[in-house]
């Protein structure tokens, strides 16, 4: 595996995993009060566009990281609406 691909996987893993503490905390506390809906929506759109770009250039690290992160953002958005 090329070093640059490995760096892509590591970067994608770290940025994706960074959302897990927030998802877990929001799930446990049933509160998303301090999370901006606009930030989540814009960030989610960015992740979706990055995923499309990853498919376009056939880059698995970009595809995986952004599809998984997009899913976590959708979970947070759903909690934001539900716990409002």
pLDDT in tens, 48-72: 999 999 999 999 999 999 999 999 9
Cα distance between residue 63 and residue 49, in whole Å = 10
pTM (two decimals): 0.88
Cα distance between residue 30 and residue 40, in whole Å = 17
Query: Which residue's entry shows tokens 């929506």?
Result: 41
Q: Which two tokens stand for residue 31?
A: 């509160």
Cα distance between residue 48 and residue 41, in whole Å = 11
Residue 1 has pLDDT above 80, yes or no: no
Confidence at 83, pLDDT banded by 50, 70, 90: confident
CATH number of 3-82: 1.20.1280.290
Q: Return the domain boundaries, the chain.
A: 3-82
């Amino acid at each position: 595996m090329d070093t640059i691909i490995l760096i892509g996987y590591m970067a994608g893993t770290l940025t994706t995993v960074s959302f897990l503490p927030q998802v877990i905390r929001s799930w446990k506390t049933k509160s998303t009060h301090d999370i901006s809906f606009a930030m989540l929506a814009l960030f989610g759109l960015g992740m979706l566009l990055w995923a499309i770009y990853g498919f376009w250039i056939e880059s698995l690290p970009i595809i995986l990281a952004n599809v998984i992160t997009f899913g976590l953002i959708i979970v947070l958005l759903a909690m934001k609406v539900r716990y409002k």
